[in-house]
């Protein structure tokens, strides 16, 4: 009996030693190997973003190198996309590229730090509306606020050179396909791995801009046809109004009633139809300014004709002034809309 009990103690002791060795081996693997792997660095980056820990984030990201490469890619992409520009314009852009890159790098650095600290690309307060618009425009132009990471994979590691390449598969709402970033990591002198650059961010921007141009081209084609169709209708109706005014006295009740009838049964409904048709079109983000401008033009014309029709009834000078104010505003916006449309069409053709 004593012998059996003694053997059990020996077995339990040996099991304890084995478990201890396993635990020590695991600790050694974790502290001597795992924390000095690219995968661990990725885990820490993810954790730092989730917990808004900027110090930990900077430990595993060479932010200076990363931002410098990003801003360089953005400037180069901008220059390439303007290849149609010749002579002095292109030379000036190249000459000031370094200055632009430095300013852009500062903006990107601020945006990245803000995102890590708050989980947002923009501050909620303590910024002017203009500053918030600039920051939002930068992030939106880079497509960063519409990116979702769906997978990551180590594709190459050179232990001797201390370099590793990760493939990060992402979805971006404006691109009708998945895209893979290739991210370069480098081992530091203390054995910790850091993300230093995105090798193909310029390719992403090119793909994004190509899709935006395509969406813009489709939008312009669709809306141009729609607006030209209504433009002819508006012109025909306005000619009817002008013909009545030129041949008759507007002081006549019969004439005023004829004008009201044409405005209320033809002009106003057609402007409402155009606005509804434009609203139904899913305008791409890059066309949001143009879309809003066109919808505002519709609103101002509706305001003009509604007030003009009302004036034909009440003969109140204030009603006529309100109508003329809307008409003056819409003429300015129509000029702006025409200029912006020409710029967009020119950009599409580049």
Task: Spell out the residues 6+ positions from residue 304 whose beta carbon is closer than 8 angstroms to its own.
Answer: 323, 324, 326, 327, 330
Phi-psi sector, 136: left (phi>0), alpha (psi -120 to 50), beta? alpha
Report d(CA 194, CA 187) in Å as an integer: 6
Nearest to 45 by CA among 196, 182, 190: 196
Report the pLDDT value the prediction gives residue 326, as an integer from 0 to 100. Answer: 94
Residues of the chain with pLDDT under 70: 1-34, 80-100, 124-135, 349-350
pLDDT at 274: 94
Minimal CA–CA distance to 291: which of 237, 215, 348, 350? 215
CB 140 within 8 A of CB 285: yes
Give the pLDDT of residue 1: 52
pLDDT score recorded for residue 308: 93
Q: How many helices (H) and strands (E) does the chain have?
A: 12, 4
Q: Which residue's entry shows tokens 């004829």?
A: 258
Read off the pTM: 0.70
- Cβ-Cβ contacts under 8 Å for 269 (sequence gap 6 or more): none
Task: Determine contact, residues 110/127, Cβ cutoff 8 Å.
Answer: no
d(CA 322, CA 304): 7
DSSP H or E stretch at residue 187: strand 179-187
- The pLDDT score that the predictor gives to residue 299 is 96
């Amino acid at each position: 009996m004593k012998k059996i009990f003694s053997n059990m103690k020996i077995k339990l002791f040996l099991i304890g030693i084995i478990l201890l060795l396993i635990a020590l081996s695991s600790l050694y693997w974790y502290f001597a190997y795992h924390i000095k792997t690219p995968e661990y660095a990725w885990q820490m980056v993810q954790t730092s973003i989730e917990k808004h820990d900027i110090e930990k984030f900077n430990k595993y990201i060479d932010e200076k190198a990363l931002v410098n490469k990003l801003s360089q890619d953005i400037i180069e992409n901008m220059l390439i996309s303007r290849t149609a520009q010749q002579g002095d314009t292109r030379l000036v852009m190249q000459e000031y590229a370094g200055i632009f890159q430095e300013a852009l790098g500062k903006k990107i650095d601020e945006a990245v730090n803000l995102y890590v600290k708050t989980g947002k690309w923009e501050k909620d307060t303590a910024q002017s509306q203009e500053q918030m618009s600039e920051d939002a425009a930068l992030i939106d132009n880079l497509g960063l606020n519409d990116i979702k990471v769906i997978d990551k994979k180590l594709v190459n590691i050179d232990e001797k050179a201390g370099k590793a390449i990760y493939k990060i598969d992402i979805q971006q709402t404006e691109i009708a396909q998945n895209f893979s970033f290739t991210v370069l990591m480098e081992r530091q002198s203390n054995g910790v791995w850091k993300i230093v650059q995105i090798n193909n961010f310029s390719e992403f921007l090119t793909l994004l801009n190509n899709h935006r141009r395509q969406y813009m081209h489709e939008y312009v084609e669709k809306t141009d046809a729609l607006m030209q169709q209504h433009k002819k209708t508006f012109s025909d109706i306005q000619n009817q109004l002008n013909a009545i005014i030129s041949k008759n006295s507007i002081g006549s009740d019969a004439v005023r009633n004829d004008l009201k009838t044409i405005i209320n049964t033809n002009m106003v409904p057609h402007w409402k139809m155009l606005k509804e048709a434009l609203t139904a079109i899913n305008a791409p983000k890059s066309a949001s300014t143009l879309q809003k401008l066109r919808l505002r033009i519709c609103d101002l014309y509706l305001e003009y004709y509604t007030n003009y029709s009302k004036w034909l009834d009440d003969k109140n000078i204030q009603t006529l002034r309100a109508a003329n104010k809307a008409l003056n505003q819409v003429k300015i916006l129509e000029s702006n809309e025409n200029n912006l449309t020409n710029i967009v069409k020119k950009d599409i053709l580049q």
